[in-house]
Every structure is written in structure tokens, then in C-alpha cells.
Amino acid sequence: MTAATTAANPESAHRGFITASVMLATIMQALDTTIANVALPHMQGTMGATQDQISWVLTSYIVAAAIFMPLTGFLTARWGRKRIFMWAVVGFTMASMLCGAAQSLNQIVLFRLLQGVFGASLVPLSQAVLLDTYPRERHGSAMAMWGVGVMVGPILGPSLGGWLTEYYNWRWVFYINLPFGLLAWFGLAAFVHETPIDRSRRFDLLGFGLLSLSIGALQMMLDRGESLDWFASPEVITEAILAGMALYLFIAHMFTHEHPFIEPGLFKDRNFSVGLLFIFIVGVILLATMALLPPFMQNLMGYPVIDVGYLLAPRGVGTMIAMMAVGKLSGKVDVRHMILLGLMLTSLSLWEMTLFNTDINGWDIVRTGITQGLGLGFIFVPLSTITFATLAPRYRNEGTALFSLMRNLGSSIGISAVI
């Protein structure tokens, strides 16, 4: 690397430290999407809560994160990406400590809501930082490293959560975030440079309100629909109507307002628009099967929670292997061919899972898990790369937020479809 190159991009001299810092933030947030699930029965006993009440520990986090994720683009443009990133890490870590120390159901629901608010921007900002830190020809490798945290975190969450709950107690599923948060904060403070700040950018309050109402109502419907018998419930019907009407009004507002909350120019990029659709599908597959297997293994096959974690962990290993392979193959193999390979492997694993019954053994679960992990790894990284390949750099903060939002919405719909 020449001195001129380094001067043009001062972050390039510290790529390793920057990558490690944003990876820690990514893993911290990604783990929390699933790590608390296996601890819910233990929380329920401590708090003296009913099944419906304890579910708000998950609902509050999911809804808050979904609502505030699209706000990432505006916040970073108005106050700077580094500043927002560091505040998000601090807020998420402190909220995690408060969750671990909570003494009542109301407290833990409130602190989980705060976790969602601060955690909403961690993954999209991590992706945006890496895209700006690495040159275009190395975006594939950068997305491979970032993808390990995004994809493996939710997969390993139940395993780690089960182990912590079994050998310590449920509070440690939140305390585990402290070392991740501290290391990530110091790394960001030392090595990441601030982006230009646009104080003139106006906040589209109506647009944000409509989008928040639509996303919030949809997430509430998906999260509570099964327990309320779906459209037999007036609450679910109301939430569905609110979500649909608010989305329609938001889209109409976006294309007619002078300074909309989300720039319509984002969707003129075909790679980006198609990428959003595909990552939505990946989200459905990723967490739908993850949500179905643990209760199947525990309730019907009689596996203890710690064994369930061990049998599901190889799925994450398969994902890591595929992502590392993609990092090496980037620039040498057409990304479309890698996505096709990933789709074939994922389809094979899903077909094999349709044959599951109570007579299968642990090896069947491990084998299909590795196959699906490999498939998702070969899809996610090339998809992340090609989605942002032609998107203008000025749209990256907003684009990465929408990319993460679509993955999360897909995950919510996938879970609702199978549970």
C-alpha cells in the first residue's frame, strides 16, 4: 500500500482493528436475537410470570429494534456515524447489564425495549463501516467476515444461552455482553474515523411515524398472532389493518414529500432492490427452522437443553466454513454461481427436514444442519456484496439499515409461520 493510498483512506492502516471492533458489536447484537429464548422458562419462574407475560421479554426487543432500525441513516447523517455507533454500543451494553439485574417483569421488559432501541443500528452501522473501510475489490472478503457475526450469532445463541443457563443462571445471558461491549467501544474510539455531518438534513417526522406504526403493528401481529388464534382475534385484525394502511400512506408520502424519511433513489438501484427481496427470503429460512427445531427436539424427542445446543451448533460451523470459502473465492468466481450453490444446498437441507420424525437420531440433525449452514453461508455473503455493488456511497447508511430490517422482518414472518 502506498502512502498516497493510506492518506486517501486513513482507516485502511487499521483495517484489522476496525474489523475486530465492528465484529464484536455485530456478534453482541446478533447473539441477543436468540440467546434469551432458552432462558425464558427460568425467567418466568424468577419473575412469577405467566407464559403470555414472559413473551413480552422477546416482543419488546423485537418491536423496538424494528422501529428504530430505519432511523440509522438520518442519525448518522445528522450527528456522524462514529458518534452514533459508540452511543449505540454504550447504550446496548448498559441495557444488557440492567436486564441481568432486573428484579421484576416490568423492569426486564423496559430494559429489553432499551436494548432494542440501542441495538437497532449496530448491525447496519457495522456493515457500512466495513464497506467504507475496504476497497470495492475486497468487499467480498469484508462481507464474509461481517457475515460470520450476523449469521452465526443467532445460530449459536441458543447453544450459548443453554450452557449459561444450565451452569450459571439466566442473568448471564445478558451479562455476557459486557466484555463484547467494552472491547467494541474502545476499538471504535481508537480506530474508526468520523463521517461528514450534514446539519441541514431535515427530519421527516410524519414519514418516520407512518413507517414506525406499520412496522410496529406488523411485528406485534406476528409475535402475538399464534397465541391469540390469528385473525379470530380483534387485536390481530386491528394490527393488520394498521400495518397495511400505514405502509400505504408511507409509500405515498415518500414519493411526494420534498425531504422523505427514506430516499426513493435507493430503490432505483436494481441490485439493491433485488437484494432486499432475497435477504427477506434468507431471513425466513434462517430463523424459521431455528425456531422449530429446539422445541421439537426438547418436547418430542426428549433432549435436554444443553444437548439441543450441541446438536444445533454444527449449523453455525457450516456457515462459517462457507463464508470463509466465499471470502477466498471473491473476485475469482461469479457471485451468482455461489448464490446458486447456496440455494441448492439450502433446498436440499429443507427437503431432508420435511422427512424428520421422532425416529431420527442426532447425526441426522447435525448433517442437515451443516448442509443448511453451508447453503446459507454461500447465499448471504455474495448477496450482501452484490446488493451494495452499485449503490452510491451516500446511500450506504440508509441502505444497510433497510437490508437488516428486511432480514429481521423475514425472520419474524418465518417464525410466525412455523410456530
Range among 93-102, 253-262, 327-336 rated most confident = 93-102
Looking at residue 183, its pLDDT comes to 94
State percent of the chain over pLDDT 90.
Answer: 19
- Assigned domain for 250 exists: yes
pLDDT tens digit sequence for 29-62: 888 877 877 777 788 888 888 777 777 887 788 8
Is residue 92 scored above 80 in pLDDT? yes
Q: Which residues pair with 333 in a beta bridge?
A: 330
What is the span of the domain harbouring residue 225?
A: 204-260
* Pair (121, 256) in one structural domain: no
On whether the CB atoms of residues 120 and 64 are closer than 8 A, the answer is yes
Q: 5 lies in a domain?
A: no
Mean pLDDT of the region 137-147:
77
Which CATH number goes with the domain that contains 159?
Answer: 1.20.1250.20
Using CB atoms within 10 A of its CB, is residue 372 exposed (0-12), middle (13-18) or buried (19+)?
buried
pLDDT band at 2 (very low <50, low <70, confident <90, very high): very low
pLDDT at position 335 is 81
Residues 197 and 250 in one domain: no
Q: Is the per-residue pLDDT at 4 higher than 50?
A: no
Question: Are 243 and 349 in the same domain?
Answer: no
Can you point out the beta strands (E) in 293-371?
none
Shared domain for 193 and 326, answered yes or no, is yes
Chain-wide mean pLDDT for the chain? 83
Q: Is residue 1 part of a domain?
A: no
Residue 243 lies in a domain: yes
d(CA 108, CA 36): 12
Our CA angle for 416, 276, 192, nearest 5°, is 105
**The one-letter amino acid at 306:** I
25 and 89 inside one domain:
yes
Q: What are phi and psi of 166, to 5 degrees?
A: -70, -45
| pLDDT score recorded for residue 291 | 67
Confidence of residue 419 (pLDDT cuts 50, 70, 90): low
Distance in angstroms (rounded) separating the CA atoms of residues 117 and 29? 11
Q: Are residues 250 and 231 in the same domain?
A: yes
- Asked if 199 and 243 sit in the same domain, the reply is no
**Largest Cα–Cα distance in the chain?**
66
Domain presence at residue 254 = yes
For residue 330, list its beta bridge partners.
Answer: 333
Is 219 in the same domain as 173?
no
- Of 260, 292, 326, the position where a domain reaches its end is 260
Looking at 4-13, 126-135, 277-286, 302-311, which range is the least confident one?
4-13
Task: Measure the CA–CA gap between 67 and 127, rounded to whole angstroms.
Answer: 19
User: Alpha-carbon distance 151 to 149, whole Å?
Assistant: 6
Whether residues 212 and 280 fall in one domain = no
C-alpha cell at 119: 441495538
**Cα Rg, the chain, nearest whole Å:** 21
Quick one: 94 and 240 in the same domain? no
160-166 contacts: CB < 8 A, separation 24 or more? Answer: 160/31, 160/35, 160/309, 161/34, 161/35, 161/36, 161/37, 161/38, 161/39, 161/309, 162/38, 162/305, 162/306, 162/308, 162/309, 163/306, 163/309, 164/39, 165/38, 165/39, 165/42, 165/305, 166/305, 166/306
pLDDT for res 12 = 58
Residue 309 lies in a domain: yes
Whether 215 and 302 share a structural domain: no
Asked if residue 252 and residue 285 are part of one domain, the reply reads no
With both helix axes pointing from N to C terminus, report the angle between 56-68 and 205-224 in degrees, rounded to the nearest 10.
150
Classify residue 363 by burial, with Cβ atoms within 10 Å: 0-12, 13-18, 19+. Answer: exposed
Domain count of the fold of the chain: 2
The lowest-confidence range among 2-6, 163-167, 316-320 is: 2-6
DSSP element (H, E) containing 271 = helix 270-295
